[in-house]
Structure 1
Amino acid sequence: MQYSGLEDFLQNGRSALAKGPIALIFCEDEVEIATTLRHHLDCGFATVVALMPAAFDLAEDVAAKVQRVDHEALGAAATTAAINAIIPAAAGQWLFYCYNTEYLFFPFCEHRTIGEMLTFHSEERRDAMLTYVVDLYAGDLGQAPNAVNLDQAFMDKSGYYALARKDPETGHPRERQLDFFGGLRWRFEEHIPQARRNIDRISLFRARAGLQLNDDHRFNDQEYNTYSCPWHHNLTTALCSFRTAKALKRNPGSTYDIETFRWHNSVPFEWHSRQLLDLGLMEPGQWF
């Protein structure tokens, strides 16, 4: 189905939000839209919603399987506003959001579905899941000047760290909340605004009335922003993303300073959850 805008979708496409989990894919440009959508269809989402400008092309095989919504996805504010409009319409359902050229991986995703994982997570009385945004980048920028190459993708195997997240009012660390850093946003931090250097995102969450997403990828309910429950470690996921690499090469202020993203800690990305688990970039928790 195709809708002329978000208002049209929320008025006439509500049935698509009746069963979850639901993936919301925001397409900022035309790079790898089809592969992004196919990947998340393969994850087992009940509904995949592609929010993109009307001028963007969409492969016929994918168009037949997704809900297409005409939407200008540029800017964090546009994404946040769209998600906050969808949340009350999808109350009770699990939502996921990402951008094109971002690919969700979760523990054992090669033979388990996103629904199976979220059922287990719900049984642990969790309504949100921490996601680490793991930067991907082309190994040869001469062959892929936009920094996107799925066949020769690289990632950083180390250089990730976390700091306590302080409450801005009290100055004290917030319980079970950390700010995570690493990847290209850390290595090229001089080109990244300080407020955008985090690599943590709550990209999987259960919608409910009153819930609001902020522009910093955090929610107005602080429990949604925690990485685990108080009594043990919980599942986390990884969002393997070319988005930062694309932006660094697209931005005139940084593109000429970067001849390659590869360094001594670069490794080929294997497109498999085992690599991310071995590197500690996602957590299986009690799910085996």
Structure 2
Amino acid sequence: MHYPSLPALIADRARALPAGPLCLILIEDQIAVNSTIRHHAALGFRAIIAFCAREITLPEDIGVPLHRVDQPVNDPAALPLIINAVSAATIGSWLYYCYNSEYLFFPFSEQRRIGEMLAFMAEERRASAMTYVIDLYARDLTTHPDAVDPDDAWFDGSGYFALAKQDATGAVLDRQVDIFGGLRWRFEEHIPPDRRRLDRVALFRAAKGLVMGPDRQFSDPEYNTYACPWHHSPTAAICSFRAAKALRRNPGSRHAIDTFHWSRSTRFTWQAQQLLDLGMMEPGQWF
């Protein structure tokens, strides 16, 4: 289905927004659109909703319903606008969001479907799953000037750290952390401070009154936690070329950086097990 606006999508919620899990993809440019959509279609989402400009071309015959919404997404305010509108229209459903050139991996995702993990999360009385963004990049920026090369993708195998999240008074928030590392840490002088974090609550269950703020955090503090109070919970990873693309697109950083590759670079195998082995996500009590 093709919807001319976000309100048009919401008005047709009975057809366009079935019971989840639903995948929302914000498409900023034409890079890796086909592979992004097909990757998520294979994970078991009930439907994929693509938000993009009219000139963007989408793939066909992906195996699951694909709905197109004419909605600009390059404004930072676009994300909470879309999330809050869809969330309010799908109370009780699990939602996931990402951008083009980003790929979700969760524990055992080669053998299990996303609904299986979310069912386990629900059994644990969890309404969200923390995801960590892993910056991918091409090794050769001469042959791949946009830094996107799925056939030879690399990421930082170490160099990540977490800081306890604090509220406005300086008090430490329970089970909430800010994660840093990857390209956003190594090239932080080119990254705005509010874009340097790698933690993202990209998997969550829509609830009445739930709102995402401009900082991409949710109004219910429990949604922003990485685990339940009694033990570790499953987490997931979003392997993303987005930071590399931005650093190559910006004239200042483009001329200052001739390679993203360094001694701690690790070739990405496109396997969830690699991320589990490196501690970049964990199964919690789900086996």
TM-score scaled to structure 1, two decimals?
0.97
CA distance in 1, matches of 2:84, 2:12: 18
Quick check: 2:47–2:66 contact (8 Å CA) kept in 1?
A: yes
1:278 paired with 2:277, answer yes
| One-letter amino acid of the counterpart of residue 255, structure 1 | R
- Across the aligned residues of Structure 1 and Structure 2, the Cα RMSD in angstroms comes to 1.1
CA distance in 2, matches of 1:4, 1:93: 24
Match of 1:189 in 2: 188
Match of 1:252 in 2: 251
- Count of residues paired in the alignment: 287
Match of 1:108 in 2: 108
| One-letter amino acid of the counterpart of residue 227, structure 1 | Y
Match of 1:23 in 2: 23
| One-letter amino acid of the counterpart of residue 70, structure 1 | D
Query: Counterparts in 2 of 1:130-149, with a 5 A limit?
Result: 130-149=130-149
Quick check: 1:40–1:103 contact (8 Å CA) kept in 2?
A: yes
1:172 paired with 2:171, answer yes
DSSP 3-state at the match of 1:60: coil
DSSP 3-state at the match of 2:282: coil
Match of 2:12 in 1: 12
Query: Counterparts in 2 of 1:62-81, with a 5 A limit?
Result: 62=62, 65-81=65-81
Quick check: 1:163–1:178 contact (8 Å CA) kept in 2?
A: yes
CA distance in 2, matches of 1:183, 1:14: 41
CA distance in 2, matches of 1:51, 1:193: 24
Query: Counterparts in 2 of 1:123-272, with a 5 A limit?
Result: 123-168=123-168, 170-272=169-271
DSSP 3-state at the match of 2:110: coil
Residue 16 of structure 1 deviates from its aligned partner by 2.7
Quick check: 1:14–1:89 contact (8 Å CA) kept in 2?
A: no
Quick check: 1:21–1:45 contact (8 Å CA) kept in 2?
A: yes
CA distance in 2, matches of 1:132, 1:79: 17
State the identity %: 54
Of residues 67-76 and 262-271 in structure 1, the stretch that sits farther from structure 2 once superposed is: 67-76
Residue 221 of structure 1 deviates from its aligned partner by 0.8
CA distance in 2, matches of 1:127, 1:188: 34
Match of 1:50 in 2: 50
DSSP 3-state at the match of 1:28: coil
Residue 194 of structure 1 deviates from its aligned partner by 1.3
CA distance in 1, matches of 2:252, 2:102: 23
1:100-149 Cα deviation digits (max 9, x unpaired) = 00000000000100000000011000001100000000010001100000
CA distance in 2, matches of 1:76, 1:207: 21
- Structure 1 segments, 4+ long, off by >4 Å, are none
DSSP 3-state at the match of 1:143: coil
Runs of 5+ in structure 2 lacking a partner?
none
